[in-house]
Amino acid sequence: MLTDGVPLHEPEYRRNGNLVFDDLLGATVHRLSGDADPIAFARHRADELKRGGRRAFVVGAGGSTPLGCLGYVACAAELLRLERMMGLRVGSIVTPNGSSGTHAGLVAGLIAAGDTASGTRSFAVMGPAEDAECVT
């Protein structure tokens, strides 16, 4: 489910980033108006799929679920493992922030591993520009 939250409709904007991967992997993307409720639509679509004999699971928006945050805790552990294996040190981690789950999971994972999360930043992608930066 993808909501049109910004008034940009140029092909360069509408066909980039993750949408390129969606196409490459054959994903079906349901585009919704900016005022639509994507979770309600997802639940409706999941019910349709279940009635058709398919298995469906609705994942909440962003990584702001316990499972989503744990995914980013595991991501932090993998990053630290790769740093050790490659003899590198990442100076900072920068992520987009829609619902704070990615940032929270990365920070929690780094702290749980005994590492510092001081270089972890996120920038709001769903709020006013003046509120965009969140520094840990």
Residue tagged 């909440």 (tokens):
60
133 pLDDT higher than 60: no
- Write down the pLDDT at residue 38: 85
**pLDDT tens per residue, range 8-33:** 778 877 778 778 888 899 988 888 88
Higher confidence at residue 85 or residue 38? 85
This prediction has a pTM of 0.64
Nearest to 6 by CA among 104, 68, 98, 94: 98
SS in 3 state form for 8-50? Answer: CCCHHHHCCCHHHHHHHCCCCCCEECCCCCHHHHHHHHHHHHH
User: 34: closest CA among 8, 65, 59, 62?
Assistant: 8
**CA-to-CA distance for 23 and 99, rounded, in angstroms?**
25
Mean pLDDT for the stretch of residues 100-112: 91
Q: What is the pLDDT of residue 132?
A: 57
What distance in Å separates the CA atoms of residue 122 and residue 100, rounded to the nearest whole number? Answer: 8
Mean pLDDT calculated for residue range 104-108 = 92
Q: Where are the domains of the chain?
A: 2-51, 66-135
Q: Does the pLDDT of residue 103 top 60, yes or no?
A: yes
